[in-house]
Amino acid sequence: MTQSSDVLGEVVGMLVEVVGEDFLLDTEIGPDTTFNDELALESIEFVALAEKLQDRYGGRVDFAAFIAGLGLDEIMNMTVGDLVRHIEARLQPAAV
Amino acid sequence: MAYVCARGVRFNVVDLPGAPAARRREPVVMLHGLFTGSAASWFFTVAPALARTRPVRLIDWRGHGMSERTPTGYGTATMVADLAELTADLPPFAVVGHSYGATVGLRFARAHPGRTTRLALVDPPFIRLDQAADDLLPADGLSARAGRRAAALAAETSVLADLAAEPPVTAAELRALAGLPVLAVTGDGSPFRAAGELVGRALPGARRHVLAGGHDLHVTARARLTPLLNSFLEDAHA
């Protein structure tokens, strides 16, 4: 459980850096926040977020490959929680 | 993300390093189109698949994405010079360009023949380049912020005048590429679809494909465009 809240907190922190605090004044980011509708994240800002994820988690979280496997509708409807769950799954130690 | 200052302008450059085995292979530089394009045009479509087997570099042209919006400098001569600076650290590389990015890629290949190993043109607006802005400016369906950004580029910079003043791509210009492997992919519903025939007449050895779709093939025909680009690039290693 600790790991879950850590990842969410880190992703929220990255989003604040990418989008800017001024823009987020009225928005409380949580797992159900949608990138497209609520954050109005532009696609190039998504790229910036992906690069921050890469810097933080290295090759374990390949956001570009994750996105490549999704359809446009899925990308448009993605929530912060969807991304956090993907990261958590990739951070799980491999089963022995 | 890496901001790079080149020629006095701040550019955003995105590298997809790919898997470790892919990193020593020939890179591909992917160039987006004007107005609504950015590094994201490729990042969320074709680039991840290509990055499995080679390093991929994406750039935001000046005035686009997270690169600086300069008041002038949207003609191909300036953008070719920008591209040369932004790729100076790479070994010779393949170029994939969509729309105006294809035009700049073509002129880069001519200006820097030793730097370009192959050239893929995705719905190049070679026909009626001087009127291309009408077809390239965004219509509906954009988020409010992206639409405002494109409108500001058109209103506050020389981009429309630069496009209108741009000499069209000629058959002679294409023929000068002879020897360079060229792929041209056009959309059957694109306003620029005749460009594929121009490429075919000028370069009979060029690989040509027509896909169902309009101008933004990387979005609407991603599943068909990706393997075409991949096999074109893989031939370089055959």
pLDDT of residue B126: 84
- Interface contact flag, B48 A65, Cβ < 8 Å: yes
Q: Is B43 on the interface with A (CB under 8 A)?
A: yes
Distance in Å, alpha carbon of B199 to nearest chain A alpha carbon:
30
In a domain, B85, yes or no: yes
| Domain assignment present for A86 | yes
Give contacts of A72 with chain B, Cβ < 8 Å: 219
Structural domain span for residue B23: 2-66+79-237
The end-to-end CA distance of chain A, in Å, is: 22
At B134 the pLDDT is 61
- What is the pLDDT, as a whole number, of residue A71? 74
Contact B143 A51 (CB under 8 A): no
Q: Establish if B33 touches chain A: CB-CB under 8 angstroms.
A: no
Strand partners, B154: none
As a whole number, mean pLDDT of residues B25-45 equals 92
- In degrees rounded to 5, what are phi and psi of residue A84? -60, -40
**C-alpha B89, offset from chain centre:** 19
Between A48, A62, A68, which is nearest B66 by CB? Answer: A48
pLDDT digits (tens, 9 = 90+) for B132-145: 566 666 555 455 66
CB B94 within 8 Å of CB B31:
no
- Collapsing DSSP states into helix, strand and coil, what is residue B10? strand
Determine, yes or no, domain membership for B71: no
* Of B52, B50, B55, B70, the residue nearest B6 (C-alpha): B70
Q: Does residue B142 or residue B169 have the better pLDDT?
A: B169
CATH number, domain containing residue A71: 1.10.1200
**Mutation for testing the B interface, residue in A22, A41, A44 having most B CBs under 10 Å:** A44
**Token pair in block for residue B82:** 């920008």
Residue A33, beta-bridge partner list: none
CB of B41 less than 8 A from some CB of A: yes
* Residues of chain A found within 8 Å of residue B14, distances taken between Cβ atoms: 47, 51
Q: For residue range A30-69, list pLDDT tens digits in order.
A: 999 988 777 777 788 888 898 899 889 887 887 777 877 7
Out of B12, B16, B144, the one facing A64 most closely (by C-beta) is B16
Q: How many domains does one find in chain B?
A: 1
Answer whether residue B191 shows pLDDT above 80.
Answer: yes
* Beta-sheet strands, E only, within B65-171: 93-98, 116-122
**In-domain check, residue A96:** no
pLDDT score of A2 more than 70: no
pLDDT in tens, B198-223: 999 999 999 999 999 999 999 889 89
- Give the closest of B14, B146, B219 to A42, CB-based: B146
Q: Around Cβ B92, how many Cβ atoms within 10 Å? A: 14
Count: domains in chain A: 1
Q: Does residue A73 lie within any of the structural domains?
A: yes
How confident is residue B61, by pLDDT bands cut at 50, 70 and 90? Answer: very high
Residue B84 lies in a domain: yes
Has residue B135 been placed in a domain?
yes
pLDDT higher at B133 or B104: B104
Question: Phi/psi of residue A67, each to 5°?
Answer: -65, -40
Rounded to an integer, the average pLDDT of B95-123 is 97
Contact B16 A51 (CB under 8 A): no
- What is the chain A residue with the closest CA to B60? A44
State whether B14 and A51 contact (CB < 8 Å).
yes
Cβ–Cβ < 8 Å for B94, B236: yes
ipTM above 0.85, yes or no: no
Considering only CA atoms, which of B144, B221, B149 is closest in space to residue B185?
Answer: B221
Identify whether B73 is part of a domain: no
* A35 has a chain B CB within 8 A of its CB: no
A50, burial (CB in 10 Å: exposed 0-12, middle 13-18, buried 19+): buried
Q: How confident is the model at residue B238 (pLDDT cuts 50, 70, 90)?
A: very low
Whether A75 has its CB under 8 Å from any CB of chain B: the answer is: yes
Across all residues in chain B, what is the average pLDDT?
90
A24 reaches B (C-beta below 8 A): no
Q: Does residue A57 lie within any of the structural domains?
A: yes
Q: What is the pLDDT of residue A1?
A: 46
| B74 domain-assigned | no
C-alpha span between A86 and B6 (Å, rounded) = 36
Task: Identify whether B139 is part of a domain.
Answer: yes
Please tell me which residue, B18 or B3, carries the higher pLDDT value.
B3
What CA–CA distance (Å, rounded) separates A11 from A90? 15
CATH number at residue B88: 3.40.50.1820
SS3 A46: helix
pLDDT at position B170 over 60: yes
A91 touches chain B (CB under 8 A): no
| Identity of the amino acid at A77 | N
Domain that holds residue A38: 2-91
pTM: 0.88
